[in-house]
Amino acid sequence: MTTTAAHLDPARKHDFVFLLDVRDGNPNGDPDNGGAPRTDPVTGQGLITDVALKRKIRSTIALTRQGKPGYDIYVENGVALNAQHERAYDEGGVTGEADARDWMCSTFYDVRMFGAVMTTGKNERKAGRVRGPMQLTFCRSVDPVTPFEIGITRVTPTRIEDVEAFKNPTPTNRGKETEMGSKSIVPYALYRGSGYFSAPLAAKAGVTSDDLAAFWQAFTIMLDHDRASARGEMTLRGLWVFSHDDAFGRAPAHTLLDLVQVKQLGDPSARSYADYADGVTIDQAAIPERVTLTRLVG
């Protein structure tokens, strides 16, 4: 008889803390600020939203569980949410909102893990609400960051007219040979975030041990499958899961997460994880009884 690893048991409460870093990239641009890296205007610390992290997890689940029943993605690029609600009635054959909610939970991974408000669309084809058992916080950089903008040059313009005018210039229009642009980057930053898993909410949504295994796998590899010119070097540096031996927990979450400490440098001079590595500590002796620590990364 096998025993489920503590961090894979949906009947337990889990609290976790993670560290990720970025070098010469933009971990989460702010569309209200020209796509510049998000920062706290008071402290200067960098920020990464929970929404950005969930997007990466959804995209990774779509890769690792492609075609597997129960692992469809609700918040999917190019698909209207109301169209997803319609599937419960068209494919699932449900006849009411409560049944539609259950069908959505069993069909869409991100509905049963992260929750969803599915009360839009036609009155007779809504799918209720689900409180997600897995929740993530914003990530905040350990020290202030110094984002800046770098000018870049592209070897060709966007418009056909500019190329033709460059080849056949006139006194009033000489066209373009290249086009200028810019990138906003953070030279280096180490970010810390946390997450929480509620066993009672998981039971209501039908979360399984396989779902948790999929989540931890996606979390550990998501940055490797989210490379982009703006996020070339993002790395998960640590992931520590505190698993209680019951559904409601044996200690407040903050007392467990505070056991993982990262020493601040006090300035934005860091340029690699090596600048922080020696200052990352875990107070193992202070872990309460009936709470299990699992190191997935770090």
pLDDT attached to residue 125: 94
pLDDT attached to residue 1: 37
Q: Give yes or no for residue 180 having a pLDDT over 80.
A: no
Q: Are strands 234-244 and 179-197 parallel, antiparallel or unpaired?
A: unpaired
Grade residue 2 by pLDDT with cuts at 50, 70 and 90. Answer: very low
Q: Give yes or no for residue 194 having a pLDDT over 60.
A: yes
Q: Which residues pair with 46 in a beta bridge?
A: 39
CA distances from 104 to 66, 98, 100, 193 (A): 17, 10, 6, 29
pLDDT attached to residue 3: 60
Distance CA 75, CA 92 (A): 19
pLDDT digit string (tens) for 151-175?
888 778 888 888 888 888 988 898 8
| Residues 211/113, Cβ–Cβ less than 8 Å | yes
pLDDT attached to residue 155: 78
Average pLDDT over residues 117-141: 96
pLDDT digit string (tens) for 235-284?
999 999 999 999 999 999 999 999 999 999 999 899 999 999 999 999 99
pLDDT digit string (tens) for 72-106?
999 999 999 999 999 999 999 999 999 999 999 99
pLDDT attached to residue 230: 83
Residue 83, classified by CB atoms within 10 Å of its CB into exposed (0-12), middle (13-18) or buried (19+), is: exposed
Distance CA 117, CA 101 (A): 10
| Residues 65/214, Cβ–Cβ less than 8 Å | yes
Average pLDDT over residues 224-244: 93
User: Mean pLDDT of all residues in the chain?
Assistant: 94
DSSP secondary structure code for residue 137 in this structure: P
DSSP secondary structure code for residue 138 in this structure: P
DSSP secondary structure code for residue 56 in this structure: H
Grade residue 182 by pLDDT with cuts at 50, 70 and 90. Answer: confident
